[in-house]
Amino acid sequence: MEEITYNGEYESQKIITLKHAFRVLSREKLEKLSKINRYPINDNSKYSEICKKIITDFENGKISNEFYNSIKEHAFNPDLNVLDGFFVQFDNKNKVAISELREFFEMPNSIRKTADGQEEVISFKIINYSEQSIRILATISKVKYIYDYNNESSYTYLLPRRAIIEIYANNIVYIQTRNSGIYCDIKGIIQLVLQDYFNDNNLKLVKPKLSQTLSIDLETNGPVATYQMINSYTIKFLDIIYELENMKYNFSEFFVSAITFDHEDGYNIDLDTMIYSTSFDGKNLFRAH
């Protein structure tokens, strides 16, 4: 195989990675990534021509590392670029101190065996933390096998299953993924870490208990003043609904076509940031009746 040089370094693996990524990504996704990274694309070009141009520019040092990494991450880590997730909680009698819990996620990678005797590599990377919460990238790398017909022998490789984890001081855990299989795997290793932290092998991560009692106080002109046992995002919807029903405004001829959240660009909304589903107990709440 011919070696490809880029800035004086051996880069054939990156070229192969790009070619592989182009087989995974759709044209629409690649166009969005190009726009975000300010890489010009001719709308009239075929997808194959766009891919070829990106590879040529990469060889000539015209592609930034940020653009390359963006292509790679969206192609091979799609579950890290979602807004969906699962909430679980652990027993309220256990009080977590984030500063102490952080040390349990700073330990070296560990290896465990599954029920069928296969090995898995477990690793954690702390993204950020505060007194109230800690955010972690959890990875379970499963050992996989592939047979090389040219060499007539098998090889092993690691297939990572990843998710962003948020653990809060009020004993709530958020696992950010839309993949129920990854959710179950990651939930299991987080439960083991918490069992070690509390020295309690009976600790379980369970579905949050939803309270039917909500306490809301309204100001004289309508907006919510104080609230208890209710998510802050729900307050945003309550405010919107109140304004729609407020008789001093005339909304009789209007209807809601879209709701844009704070994290979205109001002038150029990226469809990838839209919330298509909210998962609870393995179900999409947006489709509940």
The pLDDT tens digits of the residues spanning 135-148 come to 999 999 888 888 98
User: What is the distance between the alpha carbons of residues 35 and 70, in angstroms, rounded to a whole number?
Assistant: 12
Tell me what pLDDT residue 81 has: 61
- SS3 state at 280: strand
pLDDT over threshold 60, residue 63? yes
Q: Which H or E run includes 235?
A: helix 232-245
Q: Strand 224-228 vs strand 215-218: parallel, antiparallel, or unpaired?
A: antiparallel
pLDDT of residue 179: 81
Pair of tokens at residue 60: 């000539």
Structure token digits, residue 87: 């909430």
- Residues 6+ away with beta carbon under 8 Å from 86: 174, 175, 177, 183, 187, 279, 280, 282
Please give the structure tokens belonging to residue 85: 């997730």
* Residue 227 pLDDT greater than 50, yes or no: yes
Can you tell me the mean pLDDT for 237-245? 66
Q: How many CB atoms lie within 10 A of CB 190?
A: 22
Q: Hey, what are 32's tokens?
A: 């969005």
Contacts of 272 (CB under 8 A, 6+ apart): 32, 81
DSSP E strands, the chain: 5-6, 9-10, 86-89, 110-113, 119-129, 133-148, 153-168, 172-176, 215-218, 224-228, 279-280, 283-284
Is 41 a residue whose pLDDT tops 90? no
3-class SS letters over 46-100: CHHHHHHHHHHHHHCCCCCHHHHHHHHHHHHCHHHCCCCCEEEECCCCCCCCHHH
DSSP symbol at 251: -
pLDDT tens, residue by residue, 189-219: 999 999 999 998 889 998 876 565 656 666 6
CA 78/CA 114 separation, integer angstroms: 25
Query: Count of CB atoms within 10 A of residue 186's CB?
Result: 26
Q: Once rounded to an integer, what is the mean pLDDT over residues 233-251?
A: 64
pLDDT above 90 as % of the chain: 19
Task: Please give the pLDDT value at position 51.
Answer: 92
Assess whether pLDDT exceeds 60 at residue 288: no
Between 258 and 288, the higher pLDDT residue: 258
Looking at every residue in the chain, the average pLDDT score rounds to: 77
Looking at 102-106, 116-120, 212-216, 279-283, which range is the least confident one? 279-283
